[in-house]
Amino acid sequence: MHANFHPALTRLCKDTVRSHIGERGRGIAVFEGRVWVTQDNDLRDFVLEAGESLAFDRRGRVVVQALSDASVLVFDSIDGNTAATDIG
């Protein structure tokens, strides 16, 4: 399944998968639940829980799967400030 995130908090039901093109300086924050995150050309996978975030360090497709019902926010970090972004 391919779908886009929106600039507001995105609710993901368990097992929902979302993907988009990540950029250096962009990231994802988890507000509720637990998600699995992987990015093209990165051997690492991440499991993030509520209160955790991940900043992307490269351009590439990012895949997020909800391991439980979850709420996430994809953001841009500009000069240390965090702002929600539309990546659709």
How does the average pLDDT of the chain come out, rounded? 83
- The mean per-residue pLDDT over the stretch 1-15 comes to 72
CA triple 20-21-23, angle to 5 deg: 135
Alpha-carbon span 57 to 51, nearest angstrom:
20
Q: So what's the architecture of 10-84 in CATH? A: Sandwich (2.60)
pLDDT tier at 46 (50, 70, 90 boundaries)? very high
Q: Which pair of structure tokens corresponds to residue 7?
A: 């600039």
pLDDT tier at 20 (50, 70, 90 boundaries)? confident
Residues 53/27, Cβ–Cβ less than 8 Å: yes
Quick one: pLDDT at residue 78? 55
0.85 cut: is pTM over it? Answer: no
- Does the structure show a pLDDT above 80 at 42? yes
Q: Where are the domains of the chain?
A: 10-84
